[in-house]
Structure 1
């Protein structure tokens, strides 16, 4: 009986050791994550500095794309999130976080677009000249 109990403890200990080793990344995974993060920061920086894309809307979408990819890289390589960890709770937290970020980004872009659209006519010199004329 005690021999069987010891074997179970050993098996459980091995599983938790394997689980911890899987959750905490190796130096190789951190290095890969760091290199990808540097690349994903350098490319958008280069695109903006050289004005490679002339359309500001297209540039914004490209930068949002790079930002989204970098978020995924950080979650996989630094936070070690996958569908197996924490019994799927990390995946639920990830989905919730993505929804919140998408809503916040879409709302911010919407507000900035409408603010820009609504403010421009009143700031133009012609519009103020027309309003002051009798």
Structure 2
């Protein structure tokens, strides 16, 4: 087997593993909601926890971002972008809520 075939098989195995994890991490919260045996707050915390784990799975298996030195800059760039988007979204919500209270 050539190096290209080995690399292709490793990439495909990585994608299929990520797909399996993503499906499992999606189906479990759907099962929690469909089962309905938990309180609303516990169900929301479980869904949020599984969402965070799924973000890590997507970073690792689909975006190929891990904690190695080469990929650390990419991870910092993504986290900085998320920080900026969170600041913009929360600021917008804050301003709109303030405007609503002033209008009423």
TM tier, smaller: 0.5 to 0.7
> Which ranges of 4 or more aligned residues in structure 1 deviate by more than 4 Å?
none
Contact 1:53 1:59 in 2 (8 A): yes
TM-score (norm 1): 0.51
Contact 2:15 2:61 in 1 (8 A): yes
Report Cα offsets for 1:18-59 as digits up to 9, x if no partner.
xxx6xxx611110100000010001000000110312x1221
Contact 2:65 2:71 in 1 (8 A): no
Is 1:81 the counterpart of 2:59? The answer is no
Pairs aligned (count): 85
User: Hey, what does 1:59 align to over in structure 2?
Assistant: 43
User: Hey, what does 2:74 align to over in structure 1?
Assistant: 90
Unaligned runs of 5+ residues in structure 1 are 1-20, 112-134
1:26 to 11, 14, 21: 11
The separation in 2 between residues aligned to 1:40 and 1:92, in whole angstroms, is 25
Deviation at 1:84, TM superposition (A): 3.0
TM-score (norm 2): 0.64
User: Hey, what does 2:24 align to over in structure 1?
Assistant: 39
Contact 2:14 2:61 in 1 (8 A): yes
Q: Closer, same or farther in 2 for the Cα pair 1:77/1:85, shift >3 Å?
A: farther
User: Hey, what does 1:49 align to over in structure 2?
Assistant: 34
Q: Provide the aligned C-alpha RMSD in A.
A: 3.0
Unaligned runs of 5+ residues in structure 2 are 1-6, 95-104
Q: Which has the larger radius of gyration?
A: 1
